[in-house]
Amino acid sequence: LHIPKKTHQPKVMRPDDANIVGNVHGGTILKMIEEAGGIISTRHCNTQPGDRCVAALARVERTDFLHPMFIGEVAHVSAEITYTSKHSVEVQVNVLAENILTGAKKVTNKATLWYVPFSLQNVDKIIEVPPIEYASLEQEEEGKKHYEAQKLERLETKERNGEMIQPVLSPEPFTVGISQSSLIHLVGPSDCTLLGFVHGGVTMKLMDEVAGIVAARHCKTNIVTASVDAINFHRKIKKGCVVTVSGRMTFTSNKSMEIEVFVDADNLVEADKGQYRAVTAFFTYISLDREGKPLPVPPLKIENEEEQKRFEEGKSRYLQNKAKRLAEKERQ
C-alpha cells in the first residue's frame, strides 16, 4: 500500500464544533488544519533510518477564513508537503466545505504551516529532514524564498514577555477593559503528542475561543473569525501544565476587530521552571446579522496612550493586509 505525500481528511461538523447560530468555530478549523499537517510531516520525517521523531508545529502563516462553514457540512482537509529545509517542513493545507445535501462546495481556508521534527529518544534534539523531490527547479526556488522570509520574520518576533493583561475596575462599554478576557486550561493527555507536548492545534483552538469571547463582549452579536496573523510557537507546552490564554481588543475598523491573544504556560509540578509566554497572535473577527451579512462594528473607545499605540499598530497591520489582498487580486 502506498502512502502519499498528500493527505485528505473529511469530517462532519457537529453542534459542538459551532456556535449557537451554527457557524463552525475558526478554532475548530485551525485544529483540523494542524492535525493534517502534523500527520503528513511526522510521516515524512520518519521515512529514513535513525531516530524516530514527532513533528512539532513551529509556525503558521497568516490565514484567511474565506467563507463560513456550518453544522452538518463535511470539512475536507487536504495537506501536501511543499518544501523541506535541513530542519523544517513546509506544509500547504486546503480546507473545503461540502454541503452533502445540496452538493455545494466552497474553499474556506488555505494555510501554510512549518513543522520541526523532534527525536522521541531525546525530546530536545531536532533531527534532519529527508529532502523531497520538486516538480521543477522553479518550485524549489519559490519554496526557498518562503523559507528565508519566514525565518527572518520568526527572528524578529518578540515574545512580549513582560506584558500582562491588567484588569480595569468598572470599565465603560466599548473600551478595551470591558471585553478583555482570559481562560485557564489544564493540559490533559488528549491534548498532547507522543512527545508529551501540547498539539499546536489545541493551542490555536483555545486562542480562537478567547478571541471570540472578546469580540462577542465588544459587539454583542454573532461573530466569526475572519483571519489569523502569522503565529510563531516559540516554546513548547508540557503535559500537566496550566495554560492561561488572555485576549484584548487592539483595533477596530468599520467592519472588523483585531484581538491580541497571549498564551502563558505554568508548570505546576516543576515549579522552578516558572511561568513563561509560549505564543502570541492577532485574530481578526467580523460581526454578522441574522442573514450572515457583515454588520458595522462599534468603534473601540481608547482610554490611554498604550491603547492608542496598540491601536495605531493594529491599523497599520490592517492597512498592510488590505493592500496585500488588493495586490493579489490585481495579479489574478
- Which residues lie closer than 8 Å to 298 by C-beta, 6 or more apart? 174, 218, 219, 252
DSSP string, 103-161: --EEEEEEEEEEEEEEESSSTTPBPPPPPPPPSSHHHHHHHHHHHHHHHHHHHH-----
Check binding of 102 to its own copies (CB under 8 A).
yes
Instruction: Tell me the C-alpha distance between 199 and 212, whole Å.
Output: 20
Cell representation of residue 186: 489544564
213 is a contact residue toward its own copies (CB under 8 A): yes
Active-site hit among 191, 208, 229, 264:
208
Distance CA 17, CA 35 (A): 15
State which residue, 50 or 299, has the beta carbon closest to its own copies: 50
Note whether 125 binds its own copies by CB under 8 A: no
Residue 245 CB, shortest distance to its own copies, in Å, is 9
Please say which residue, 105 or 317, places its beta carbon nearer to its own copies.
105
Q: Residue 274, interface with its own copies (CB under 8 A)?
A: yes
CB of 152 to its own copies, least distance (A): 29
Say whether residue 38 binds its own copies (CB under 8 A): yes
Segment interacting with its own copies, rule: CB under 8 A, options 61-69, 211-219, 285-293, 308-316: 211-219
Q: Is 267 a catalytic residue?
A: no
Nearest-CA neighbor of 83 among 16, 161, 35, 150? 150
Query: For the chain, how long is the longest CA-to-CA vector?
Result: 63
Long-range pairs for 327-330 at CB < 8 Å and ≥24 separation? none
| CB of 38 closer than 8 Å to CB of 200 | yes
Instruction: Give yes or no: 254 in active site.
Output: no
Is residue 240 a contact residue for its own copies (CB under 8 A)?
yes
- The residue from 62, 66, 72, 146 that contacts its own copies (CB under 8 A) is 72
- Interface segment toward its own copies; rule CB under 8 A; list 80-88, 94-102, 149-157, 251-259: 94-102
Task: Tell me the Cα Rg of the chain.
Answer: 20
Task: Locate 283 and state its grid cell.
Answer: 485574530
Instruction: Give residues in contact with its own copies (CB under 8 A).
Output: 1, 3, 7-12, 14-16, 19-20, 35-36, 38-39, 42-43, 46-47, 52-54, 71-72, 74, 76, 96, 98, 100-103, 105, 120, 164, 166-167, 181-186, 188-190, 194, 209-210, 212-213, 216-217, 220-221, 239-240, 242, 266, 268-271, 274-275
Residues with active-site annotation:
19, 208
